[in-house]
Amino acid sequence: MSVLSAALKSVLRPPKLAPSAWQLYFTDWIQKQQAMGTRKLNVAQAAKEAGQEYACLSAEEKEVISFFVMLPQHHLIDLPLAL
């Protein structure tokens, strides 16, 4: 590997992908659980419970979440997902 290609490889990084609707839902779900502070969940249990709730959402509710995925990230600061 030449010095030039090594330098380019370290500088160029692919852009981050936008979070999925599920990622936004799960992040919001975790924050709500932490705010309630009633119990401590491990990641596997949290993903299972949130996944079950997410699966029960209507197509319209999931569409609302998908809309937030398309917004630039700075628009999502302090914006709760109220479904």
Give pLDDT tens digits for 20-79: 889 989 988 998 888 888 888 889 999 999 999 999 999 888 888 877 766 655 444 555
Of residues 81 and 19, more confidence is placed in: 19
Q: What's domain 18-76's architecture?
A: Orthogonal Bundle (1.10)
Distances (CA, A) of 71 to 17, 22, 52, 59, 75: 13, 15, 26, 19, 6
Sign of CA dihedral 17, 61, 51, 38: positive
C-beta of residue 16 within 8 angstroms of C-beta of residue 68:
no
pLDDT on residue 54: 95
- pTM for the predicted model, two decimal places: 0.63
The residue extents of the domains of the chain are 18-76
Burial of 57 (0-12, 13-18, 19+ CB in 10 A): middle
